[in-house]
Structure 1
């Protein structure tokens, strides 16, 4: 542990001001690991006595004692009846107030809940001060790199007629109707309604050992275009589409896998599990006609619809172009910034990472089904990937403050309106749902991140414009180089083991 960093009653105020404005308090702040502080707090006897007196006064004015009018009972009688409660109440207020004062006066940006050492055994002393210790995780210190050292490539892109036709097909599917198929085998693109049971792998089929049961849950059967990946209850299964293809109503499929490392259920997290899927029904999508699509979208003609689609795709291409540049900046920021996170923070922040990714996918115009698949993939990622996301959050937070980035209500409402248009929904309805799910804050953070990255790109980052094929070639070369590097490492490790 390093030397004490901060001591006393506050930075910005003199001792006289502190005495006038705040009750006396002694605080020592020490390092206690990566982005973690130990607060040693001492509440003096005078402050304890004043709080007990205040608590007693509040109780005396409200106490109803038989034989006495309200507020007229003698102190000795109230102390006899409520003495222990008065001290417990005063202790709670003192701890809370002292902690809040210590955090504010020492300018600590706390993450999560404080951990008060031995809180169960803390008692107010009859005489003298009360000393207690609190461990808190705080926002880590971030030293940003020079933005002119960041280099990105900008890919040129155009919207083709094929792109427009592909988008029309998506709209036809979106406004199509799912019809139940009774005598057919499951095929790519179908929706399967199934009863799903998840068991420990060594107790598959044992109803008493069932971890969770999902009744009549929908499963999308993905084909080659989605690499046959699918998810059941938020758990990604790489070849689910292949395993479901050819099955019929009434069939049961059992998939053995390992639970995602970031799953919220400890009985599934990193555990070998068996997922039993019993097919109850199969639904197949019947795409809507062009006339139905035009009517549902609310335009006058097919020509107007195609024009709007092209404009929307052009905007989407620009967003994808920007998104690619943002990713390049993010990768370099994470690589260039040395940052230690508080222990245990990663597991607690997985849900926030998932919400953040949801907002990003919504912003790109991704469908709900594709979003759920992507989120299932994220849950299956390693802790290292989640840690990278958290590091990036703190880096962007620091950069946004340094660059004075702000997000207004108009920007927030504008993004909601755009997402609503992409999903064919009403903005006010979408906003209500997002607010209920706690997603508005994530959308705010998403907009702030994009504005921050724009400022970084404008603040000296080197941008090279390349053709789409050239960029793809660069990625392929990089991928090959990575494989070659990995092969060398593997060979070196083998050589070492042989030695």
Structure 2
């Protein structure tokens, strides 16, 4: 509601503490209920201050600026003055209560019955506000954490497989006329997500995605595939043998972690109208050389080996971070605010996308992993929330800071992997509100690095497939 925004902005000036009475109660997991009472003297003082400011600035017909009589100001501006006084009193008293009670707020305040609240002509004003706060818990000792450091060797086969991926990435995609869909094809379709199981044409359309691409996987990927951000377990089987002009309908339950409430956990029907079938012709190895600034295939292989070694270092670090995080989170007991769980799902997906980009994953791989993540739902959101609070507290205890240079360096690395200009990527991330997530990601990684410095680390050889 419009008035509620007044509670969010902190007072501009630091003044002597006005009188008020505050009662704090537990209202749920990491949720506090504040009952705030403002005495009549504070209310009248605020009303007088507001009328004084208005009197100094108001210009009314027949009166010079600052000369309009009080009764005329009250008659003309009484309603707006009441609203201004109410908003100011709520904002100032709420933020004063947070400071006085030492509450670390993580959500927006919920002022109860805010529309019915009125500034009384006499007597006190009492209101109730509920707000989510940081859970209170103790961290375990970091020197009790045990982590395995897995070592990786880059083989010639690894290099050849990576070059094969580059051949596909820089290959030519072409539409195949009158083709029958087969494994490895890219199917373009106009997708509608309908509400309900086995929904017909008259069903509600909860989402549309024209010209969506789906890579048709076979047995090696368990026939899984995604479209419009939704993972379908047997997508490869559903599409195999189809042709342009065919329509595929898939009845299923929407993933629990989907951002669209009409899809999340709901019975839906995916309708895919196939418009094109594309096949990839991999690029020749010699055509890759200019892309990497290389003269010979041996030079390319050496460059790719170096890149894989760097990627393995990132994988090694990420694995150690994961081990440490799991042990710390497992050792901590804390209650989470209910309201945060739903909001966390979208943040989790955004964060995971950014970390996948940093790891060098390709767009198709990223979309597959995000589609898989959407199936994990609330349980994963709860785990991510718990991890955030634990690592946030650890970062504060370990005095971890993130510099602007570190943020720019991470953006430059992501831009290089995507073959884009860093400044353009940064602007896009700013517009999408992703810079804060990037800051938190770097902060958590630095925090885990410091934790691992105190942990017991054992070096082991990575197993095949890891």
Superposition TM-score, scaled by structure 2 size: 0.92
Residues 155 and 471 of structure 1 are in contact (CA less than 8 Å); yes or no, is this contact kept in structure 2?
no
- Corresponding residue for residue 461 of structure 2: 467
Q: Secondary structure at the match of 2:463?
A: helix
- Corresponding residue for residue 244 of structure 2: 249
The one of 357, 376, 379 equivalent to 2:371 is 376
Residues 142 and 398 of structure 1 are in contact (CA less than 8 Å); yes or no, is this contact kept in structure 2?
no
1:426 and 1:174 map into 2 onto residues whose CA distance is: 19
Deviation readout 1:237-285 (Å, 9 max, x if unpaired):
1121221122110011011110122323332221111111110111222
Q: Secondary structure at the match of 2:108?
A: strand
Q: Flag the 1:69–1:145 CA change in 2: closer, same or farther, 3 A.
A: same
Deviation at 1:380, TM superposition (A): 0.9
2:464 and 2:145 map into 1 onto residues whose CA distance is: 20
Deviation readout 1:393-436 (Å, 9 max, x if unpaired):
11011111111111112221222222222222222222222222
Q: Flag the 1:329–1:57 CA change in 2: closer, same or farther, 3 A.
A: same
Q: Flag the 1:324–1:20 CA change in 2: closer, same or farther, 3 A.
A: closer
- Corresponding residue for residue 480 of structure 1: none
Deviation readout 1:340-378 (Å, 9 max, x if unpaired):
101232112111111121122122111122111111111
Q: Flag the 1:307–1:203 CA change in 2: closer, same or farther, 3 A.
A: closer
Q: Secondary structure at the match of 2:450?
A: helix
- 1:111-150 paired onto structure 2 within 5 Å: 111-150=106-145
Deviation at 1:27, TM superposition (A): 2.1
- 1:13-412 paired onto structure 2 within 5 Å: 21-202=16-197, 204-207=199-202, 209-412=204-407
Residues 46 and 85 of structure 2 are in contact (CA less than 8 Å); yes or no, is this contact kept in structure 1?
yes
Deviation readout 1:214-242 (Å, 9 max, x if unpaired):
22222222333433222222111112122
Q: Secondary structure at the match of 1:121?
A: coil
Deviation at 1:76, TM superposition (A): 0.7
- Corresponding residue for residue 492 of structure 1: none
Residues 346 and 387 of structure 1 are in contact (CA less than 8 Å); yes or no, is this contact kept in structure 2?
yes
Residues 176 and 285 of structure 1 are in contact (CA less than 8 Å); yes or no, is this contact kept in structure 2?
yes
Deviation at 1:178, TM superposition (A): 1.6
- 1:474-493 paired onto structure 2 within 5 Å: none
2:219 and 2:89 map into 1 onto residues whose CA distance is: 63
Q: Which runs of 5+ in 1 are unaligned?
A: 1-18, 473-499
Deviation at 1:202, TM superposition (A): 4.2
2:456 and 2:464 map into 1 onto residues whose CA distance is: 18
2:196 and 2:208 map into 1 onto residues whose CA distance is: 15
Deviation at 1:321, TM superposition (A): 1.3
Q: Where is the helix percentage greater, Structure 1 or Structure 2?
A: 1
Residue 415 (1) aligns with residue 403 (2): no
Q: Secondary structure at the match of 2:22?
A: strand
Deviates more, 1:91-100 or 1:207-216: 207-216
Q: Secondary structure at the match of 2:255?
A: coil
Deviation at 1:20, TM superposition (A): 6.1
Deviates more, 1:57-66 or 1:160-169: 57-66
The one of 450, 454, 458 equivalent to 1:455 is 450
Q: How many residues align?
A: 454
2:348 and 2:172 map into 1 onto residues whose CA distance is: 33
Superposition TM-score, scaled by structure 1 size: 0.86
Residues 142 and 394 of structure 1 are in contact (CA less than 8 Å); yes or no, is this contact kept in structure 2?
no
Residues 44 and 128 of structure 1 are in contact (CA less than 8 Å); yes or no, is this contact kept in structure 2?
yes
Q: Flag the 1:202–1:245 CA change in 2: closer, same or farther, 3 A.
A: closer
Residues 197 and 251 of structure 2 are in contact (CA less than 8 Å); yes or no, is this contact kept in structure 1?
no
Q: Secondary structure at the match of 1:198?
A: strand
1:133 and 1:98 map into 2 onto residues whose CA distance is: 11
| TM-align CA RMSD | 2.1
Q: Flag the 1:349–1:277 CA change in 2: closer, same or farther, 3 A.
A: same
Deviation readout 1:181-201 (Å, 9 max, x if unpaired):
112112223222211111123
